[in-house]
Amino acid sequence: MKKFALACALALLPAVASATSVSMTAPYPGTTVNAGTRVSFTVLPSGFNHPTYQVVDSFGGGVSNVNIDSLGNFFWTPNISDVGVHTITISVSDTSGASANTAVSVTVNKGPTASASTVDPFVTAGSPVTFSVVTTGLTNPTYTVADSFSPSSLPSTAMGQDGSFRWTPVGQDVGVHTITVTASDSMGYTATTSQTITVLAPTTLTIIKLSPGYTVHVGELLTFTATTTGFVAPTFTVTDDFSTSTTATIDAAGNFSWTPQSSDIGGHPFALVVSDRVRTLNARFVVTVPPAPAGTPAAPVQKVSPSTASVGTPASHPSAAAYTFTKFLSVGSTGTDVTALQNILIAQGYLKVGATSYFGALTKAALMRYQSTHSLSPVGYVGPGTRAALNSGK
């Protein structure tokens, strides 16, 4: 009976709770990591019945409960916004009210970076592309380069081991290239940077079917067609620096037309511009509208169809009687007098280029040949003797 009574008494005593504790494995790969490196460890609770885990990070916006599973396994990959010191506290509890915690401090560094200098995103085939790469967090880095475009003429040697890049694309490279440079060091750290470059085909701008030529009379239709290569959806504009010019037009297909009026007599410096969203080319040329000879009735307007005009056919040039020279002309002179002089030199075969309204070295040389042929001193300028010869129609 005594033994039975003792057993009953012992049964009525409260149960002694088992001790609880919590520890963790060492963080892998360590307590100091670079952004982008995965951190892992396992929490090891002891004495808990079906434990649950709560995670608190001293660094705002760092880790949370989503970084630990029901078995106490912790995983976290910090990003660049997590650079700094994180004190991560893991609290463990169960349904009996038992609890314990453990903590670890993890420092996140920015890690290696690579950046490239600014480069024009558009380049014409045949033009060099250059930029330089700068890294941080790497010791004596080496560089490799890759191009997303295929087939690409980009060689592995385009990337120098000093971080400089140089490449001249060719015709086969026309298209969009994503060029990726990878820098690495002997510790196994790497960093990358990319440039997106569009290689464009070479461009040209050509004037064809100019009719009747660089000299056009009042009431006569002047036409030409501007043709291009290498442009995407080009637009054309044309301007005339002549102060009182009537309107010259050019349409979306590059077809130009202009009929000068009596107020347009003189030299017209035209500027033709073609452009797309990336590139621009321009061409300049001078068209001369001569005055009608005194006492000559107005000539009927002659319409010349662009489709029947000869490509590159020069205009017939006015005779000396079409212009009266009154000024001294020499190198550096400009204006309608120079244009008229050039047209005469062209018509007589002394000048082989179009009239520009500027008296330069070519005009001087042509004038000296004219003077020699006409028994004048080859002085290369228009003085009284040369002026008289020009006005007499020689």
Q: What is the pLDDT of residues 123-164, one digit of tens each?
A: 999 999 999 999 988 889 999 999 999 999 999 999 999 999
The arithmetic mean of pLDDT across residues 194-221, rounded, is 92
Q: What is the pLDDT of residue 12?
A: 52
Q: What is the pLDDT of residue 238?
A: 92
- As a whole number of angstroms, the distance between CA 118 and CA 301 comes to 57
Residue ending a domain, choose from 64, 80, 109: 109
pLDDT at 302 over 60: no
Residue ending a domain, choose from 109, 138, 158: 109
If asked whether residues 165 and 216 sit together in one domain, one would say no
Sign of CA dihedral 383, 387, 390, 394: negative
Residue 169 placed within a domain: yes
- As a whole number of angstroms, the distance between CA 336 and CA 329 comes to 11
pLDDT at 18 over 80: no
The string over 100-126, giving b where at least 16 C-beta atoms fall within 10 Å of a residue's C-beta and e elsewhere, is: bebebebebeebbbbebeebeeebebe
pLDDT at 212 over 90: yes
Average pLDDT over the chain, rounded to an integer:
85
pLDDT at 225 over 60: yes
If asked whether residues 219 and 238 sit together in one domain, one would say yes
If asked whether residues 294 and 373 sit together in one domain, one would say no
If asked whether residues 297 and 231 sit together in one domain, one would say yes
Residue 151 placed within a domain: yes
Residue 39 placed within a domain: yes
The arithmetic mean of pLDDT across residues 200-212, rounded, is 91
Going by pLDDT thresholds of 50, 70 and 90, the confidence category of residue 318 is very low
Going by pLDDT thresholds of 50, 70 and 90, the confidence category of residue 55 is very high
* Tokens coding 176: 């969009």
Least confident of 1-5, 111-115, 226-230: 1-5
- As for how many domains the chain has, the answer is 4
Q: What is the pLDDT of residue 16?
A: 44
The amino acid occupying position 254 is G
Q: What is the pLDDT of residue 2?
A: 53
Residue 4 placed within a domain: no
Q: What is the CATH number of the domain that holds 238?
A: 2.60.40.10
If asked whether residues 252 and 219 sit together in one domain, one would say yes
CA atoms within 13 A on the CB side of 126: 5
Identify whether the C-beta of residue 87 lies closer than 8 Å to the C-beta of residue 62: no
Q: What is the pLDDT of residue 294?
A: 56
If asked whether residues 242 and 260 sit together in one domain, one would say yes
Percent of the chain with pLDDT over 90: 50
If asked whether residues 193 and 208 sit together in one domain, one would say no
pLDDT at 243 over 60: yes
- As a whole number of angstroms, the distance between CA 287 and CA 339 comes to 9
Query: Per the omega criterion (within 30 degrees of 0), is the bond before 306 cis?
Result: no
* Tokens coding 123: 């380049």
The arithmetic mean of pLDDT across residues 103-119, rounded, is 92
- As a whole number of angstroms, the distance between CA 59 and CA 35 comes to 14
For tokens 């396994």, what's the residue? 73
Kindly report, residue by residue over 25-41, the tens digit of the pLDDT. Answer: 999 999 998 887 899 99
Q: Which residue has the higher pLDDT, 82 or 187?
A: 82
Q: Which residue has the higher pLDDT, 117 or 241?
A: 117
Residue ending a domain, choose from 276, 303, 330: 303
Residue 167 placed within a domain: yes
Kindly report, residue by residue over 339-376, the tens digit of the pLDDT. Answer: 889 889 888 888 887 888 888 888 898 999 998 888 88
pLDDT at 230 over 50: yes
Q: What is the pLDDT of residue 45?
A: 95
Identify whether the C-beta of residue 15 lies closer than 8 Å to the C-beta of residue 96: no
The model carries a pTM of: 0.47
Going by pLDDT thresholds of 50, 70 and 90, the confidence category of residue 320 is very low
Q: What is the pLDDT of residue 10?
A: 47
Going by pLDDT thresholds of 50, 70 and 90, the confidence category of residue 322 is low
The amino acid occupying position 239 is T
Domain of residue 378 covers 317-394
Residues 6+ apart with CB under 8 A from 15: none
* Tokens coding 280: 């621009």
Q: Which residue has the higher pLDDT, 158 or 10?
A: 158
